[in-house]
Amino acid sequence: MTPENVYVFKFGREELNNRVIIKYTHTWTGRIKINEIDLRLHKQKHPRIFRRESDLLNYLKKHMSTENGVVRIRRKRKHRAHKSRDKETEK
């Protein structure tokens, strides 16, 4: 059995420490076999782990949107933000 090899791709702002970690091995024929893909966003302690590249792409498609040709990450708004906005409109 060969030892695992690791690629680390950093992206985004430095202070956020976003990264994708790909753990892979080589098969006996010399091909690369991806064992695990870790997605760590915003200094997460527990990463999202994917077995296949397609699982990662499906996850990213769910959480991204395109507006005017610019790709943006959709963020869920906290419930408190809606309440404060409602109070402002009542005044």
Give the pLDDT confidence score for residue 41 in this predicted structure: 84
Instruction: Note down the domain range covering 78.
Output: 5-90
Instruction: Detail the DSSP E strand segments found in the chain.
Output: 5-11, 18-26, 32-40, 48-50, 64-67, 70-73
CA distance 78 to 9: 30
CA distance 42 to 1: 34
Give the pLDDT confidence score for residue 66 in this predicted structure: 64
Mean per-residue pLDDT pooled into runs of 10, the chain (91 residues): 78 83 91 91 85 90 69 61 56 55
Give the pLDDT confidence score for residue 91 in this predicted structure: 55
Please count the structural domains in the chain.
1
The DSSP output letter for 37 is E
Give the pLDDT confidence score for residue 38 in this predicted structure: 92
Give the pLDDT confidence score for residue 84 in this predicted structure: 55
